[in-house]
Amino acid sequence: MSVIAKGKTRDIRELKNIAGNVRINILHMLTKAGSGHTGGSLSAVDVAVAIYFSKMAFDPKNPLWEKRDRFIMSKGHAAPLIYAIMAEAGYFPKETIETLRKIESPLQGHPCCRTLPGIEVSTGSLGQGLSVANGMALGLKLDDNPARVYCIMGDGEIQEGQIWEAAMTAAHYKIDNICGVVDNNGLQIDGPVEKVMGIEPIHDKWASFGWHVIDIDGHNMEEILAALNESESVKGKPSVIIANTTKGKGVSFFENKVEYHGVAPSQEEFEKAVKEINND
């Protein structure tokens, strides 16, 4: 079995290199498709790479391995991110990324568990991922399965009421094998999150709902790894990491640009972006 061992130590430089590859593959597939979500896929790269390649146990050759850790991309429009990571991890040949959003491709515009083994649940209807993560985590506890569940949410997504129902549920049932992550990049499709519907104080809200809250720079790999380790050590309550990130991170001309929430790069932008990422 080609299981990637839980807690496998990876050098910070190696994780950063993987993150660079993932960013390039995200942009590659979006450019080929001519549509998709650029900004929010790039902002969550560093956290997602750290989760997959430093913490999670999984087997690309046996995606339903019962001891696997679970990963849920609740903000399903960031599908290019999870696809780029899965390609890097060996779930499917890397050339498959060129089929993003094409008819009969396993790489649909939002993650689909029916077409792509390794996707735990279909997402895209915002606000639902944390509820599903709760159910998975409770099931694992009932089975005495030591696996953990990771759930990445968007900051705009936590405007959804269902997120807070799920937050109450996780605290009430002391679901400590779940780790939520808020990709706090400050922008959503209609503009700045604070102008669309303010969500601050995020830390205090999660804490008041009974969660252990960790605030980090979501692009600092050392801080990300420390937060993931801390969340794993907390017992008796769920943990959430508030990852303060930059929309479009890694490409200067995409960063903090709300117009790139749901717009794919042009070929010229792609080539320029790859040079910038490689130089970094």
In the three-class reduction of DSSP (H, G, I as helix; E, B as strand; rest coil), residue 274 is classed as: helix
Mean of pLDDT values over 67-83: 97
Burial class (CB in 10 A: 0-12, 13-18, 19+), 272: middle
pTM equals 0.95
What's the pLDDT tens digit per position in 129-174?
999 999 999 999 999 999 999 999 999 999 999 999 999 999 999 9
Per-residue burial over 29-46, b = 16 or more CB atoms within 10 Å of its CB, e = otherwise: bbbbbeebbbbbbbbbbb
**pLDDT range class, residue 10, cuts 50, 70, 90:** confident
The CATH number that applies at residue 121 is: 3.40.50.970
90 pLDDT more than 60: yes
Classify residue 258: in a domain, yes or no: yes
Domain that holds residue 244: 12-279
Query: How many folded domains does the chain comprise?
Result: 1
pLDDT digits (tens, 9 = 90+) for 223-249: 999 999 999 999 999 999 999 999 999
How many whole angstroms from its chain centre is CA 44? 6
Give alpha helix (H) positions in 68-149: 79-89, 129-142
- pLDDT above 50: residue 213: yes
The number of residues making up the chain comes to 280
Percent of the chain with pLDDT over 90: 95
The burial of 195, by beta-carbon neighbours within 10 Å (0-12 exposed, 13-18 middle, 19 or more buried), is given as exposed
In angstroms, the CA 40 to CA 42 distance is 5
Which one, of 201, 202, 140, 205, lies nearest residue 173 by Cα? 140
Amino acid at 261: H
In a domain, 3, yes or no: no
Q: Which of 142, 153, 145 is nearest to 48 (CA)?
A: 153
How much is the pLDDT for 11? 87
Mean pLDDT of the chain: 95
Q: Is residue 115 part of a domain?
A: yes
Give the C-alpha separation, 26 to 41, whole Å. Answer: 7
What's the CA gap between 263 and 86, in Å, rounded? 22
- What is the token pair recorded at 50? 């750290």
Query: What H or E segment, with its residue span, contains residue 150?
Result: strand 149-154
Residue 5 lies in a domain: no
Q: Return all residues near 172 (Cβ < 8 A) that are at least 6 apart.
A: 210
Q: Report if residue 6 sits inside a domain.
A: no
The span from the CA of 189 to the CA of 42, in Å, is 15
Q: Could you tell me whether strands 149-154 and 70-73 are parallel, antiparallel, or unpaired per DSSP bridges?
A: parallel
What phi-psi label fits residue 174: left (phi over 0), alpha (psi between -120 and 50 degrees) or beta? left
* 7 within domain boundaries: no
Q: For residue 109, which amino acid is it?
A: G
Output the six-digit token pair for 104: 């009969």
Q: What is the pLDDT of residue 248?
A: 97
User: Rounded distance, CA 23 to CA 88, Å?
Assistant: 11
Q: Residue 1 domain-assigned? A: no
